[in-house]
Amino acid sequence: MRRFELNRKTKETDIVLSLCLDEGEIEINTGCGFLDHMLTLFASHGRFGLKLFCAGDTHVDYHHTTEDVGICLGAAFAGALGDKSGIIRYGDIILPMDEALILCAADISGRPYLAYEVIPPTEKVGDFDTELVKEFLFGLVRSAGITLHVRQLSGNNSHHIIEGVFKALGRTLRQACAVDPSLCGAVPSTKGVL
């Protein structure tokens, strides 16, 4: 089983995380209900086992919690994938969520890059700042070494748009992390390393 566990403690957050790329239980408590909901959707659609607890400075806002969870989740992906031998490497989807339509494409390349073209029509969903989705994804791609493109093709409901992003991300990474038996354990790169 491809899994990784980590603890990360700063003056702003204290995070305990366990990730299994090949299914498992999902238990998430970040102190932010909307983020918990999105991460549950991500793990469920990615078919990842994810146990995550974060005690953050949510009395300030959810910025540090959201960003640091992204950083830790990215580090867990990098750790669980190891040298990336045998993985498909690429994943993509165009995912509908009611009126919202989200394109998501990833390359587990070792090169962190985020192209993010998502504009929710509201600044908040509940008490969650919609701009924090981008901060989460920045943290994730930097720590995981993933090239990620996320684009909103349509949508006018902020909740649906963001939900589409997290579902699409889960399904895209599930595809990219999957083992390709035809590779016989080789790293999917002409360089021989990712």
Domain that holds residue 54: 3-183
When divided into structural domains, the chain yields a total of 1
Is residue 191 a part of any domain in this protein?
A: no
> 0.95 cut: is pTM over it?
yes
Is residue 78 a part of any domain in this protein?
A: yes
Query: Is 4 in contact with 24 (CB distance < 8 Å)?
Result: no
Is residue 193 a part of any domain in this protein?
A: no
Is residue 192 a part of any domain in this protein?
A: no
Is residue 81 a part of any domain in this protein?
A: yes
Q: List, for residues 34-51, the tens digit of each pLDDT value.
A: 999 999 999 999 999 999
Residue corresponding to tokens 């603890």:
7
The one-letter amino acid code at 44 reads S
> Looking at 108-188, which runs of residues are DSSP E strands?
113-117, 124-125, 128-129, 147-154
Q: List, for residues 8-32, the tens digit of each pLDDT value.
A: 999 999 999 999 999 899 999 999 9
CATH number at residue 12: 3.30.230.40
Q: What is the pLDDT of residue 189?
A: 85
Q: What is the pLDDT of residue 111?
A: 97
Torsions phi, psi of 166, nearest 5?
-70, -40
